[in-house]
Amino acid sequence: MTTPAASSMFDVFSDPQMRHAALVHLPVALAMLGLIPAALSLCTKLGRAPVVVTLSIYVLLIAAAWGGVLSGEPAEGRVGSPPQTIREQIHEHEEAAEKIWYFALAASVLCLGGLAKAPRFAKISKVATLLAAVGGAGWTSYAAHLGGSLVYDFGVGTPNPVTIDDIQGSEGTDPQQHITLADPRGEFFVTAVYPLLYDRCMGCHTVGDRPDADLDLSTPAGLLAGGESGPAIVPGDPVASLLFQTITGEHPDIRMPEGDDPLEESDIEILREWIAQGAVWAERPAAPPAEDQAAPEGPSPQPLSGPSAAPPAD
């Protein structure tokens, strides 16, 4: 009989993106852990034990680094077709990860020199091992930062992230500005989400000389790029999204809408549902009217109310 914990672990390792997310933390942990015995090995009173421990850690790091690289290939295959800037960062992250084992191999070879009987040679090897360990920890942190940025800044690997497949540019416009979706999430955005953003957010946060806090909520690019406080949304994760934190009072310093009544619970649920479904962005309705003009006709009726507004799952 399979326990819930075992079943959950099986689910993690059966999904390429979740498996990669789980495995890439091991090289980071080993790279940081290796600094301790590498430094302690310089203390001659401790004998060879720290050197042996350091060698063991970096041999494991070689294997863990390759495990992370190999798990990244199928995970990348599930990303879809993100915008070019995201694709370039994925490639940069991949190249950085592939070089982690260089530092681990160098530290392992130098560790062998630390076991030499000649005191001077052993000491030089230990110092060199520590330098390789510091370089490896720094490089591993850099690779991890690139991966973390892909997840938390661009939503790569989260459920239903915005991708280039969702983008269909109108003639004479930036293709990032219009996304057309042939699924219920697009209709949900047009009928419920966009009118809410337009009514309660875009008065201050839209294209202009300078939107408040440099945050433009009128385009998908503006949402992902964010403003002074960082990206506005993490597609697939409402709790981690700055937009959701500020409208629910979860953010310690920012509450939105600023100087206006808080959003109704039904409106908050609409935005929560939208972000949880991937924050997809359908083709925008006509430009918002001036104050003395009528509201735009077409695909922008009033917001729906409550969680029943959410479209059926795919």
The 3-class secondary structure across the chain, one letter per residue, is: CCCHHHHHHHHHHHCHHHHHHHHCHHHHHHHHHCHHHHHHCCCHHHCCHHHHHHHHHHHHHHHHHHHHHHHHHHHHHCCCCCCHHHHHHHHHHHHHHHCHHHHHHHHHHHHHHHCCCCHHHHHHHHHHHHHHHHHHHHHHHHHHHHHHHHHHCCCCCCCCCCCHHHECCCCCCCHHHCECCCCHHHHHHHHHHHHHHHHHCCCCCCCCCCCHHHCCCCCHHHHHHCECCECCCCCCCCCCCHHHHHHHCCCCCCCCCCCCCCCCHHHHHHHHHHHHCCCCCCCCCCCCCCCCCCCCCCCCCCCCCCHHHCCCCC
The tens place of each residue's pLDDT in the chain, 314 residues long, gives 456 555 555 555 677 777 888 888 999 999 999 999 999 999 878 889 999 999 999 999 999 999 999 888 877 766 655 566 777 888 899 999 999 999 999 999 999 999 998 999 999 999 999 999 999 999 999 999 998 888 777 667 665 554 444 443 434 434 333 444 445 777 788 888 888 888 888 777 766 556 677 787 777 777 777 788 888 888 888 888 888 888 888 877 788 877 777 888 998 999 988 888 888 877 644 444 444 444 444 333 333 333 333 444 44
Cis before 311 (ω within 30): no
Q: Which fold has domain 4-152?
A: Four Helix Bundle (Hemerythrin (Met), subunit A) (1.20.120)
Determine whether 225 is exposed, middle or buried from the number of CB atoms within 10 Å of its CB (0-12, 13-18, 19+): middle
The pLDDT score that the predictor gives to residue 192 is 86
The pLDDT score that the predictor gives to residue 143 is 94
- For residue 207, which of 187, 195, 225 has the smallest C-alpha distance? 225
- CA angle 268-269-273, nearest 5°? 120
The pLDDT score that the predictor gives to residue 173 is 39
Q: List Cβ neighbours of 302 (8 Å cut-off, separation of 6 or more).
A: 195
Domain with CATH 1.20.120 in the chain: 4-152
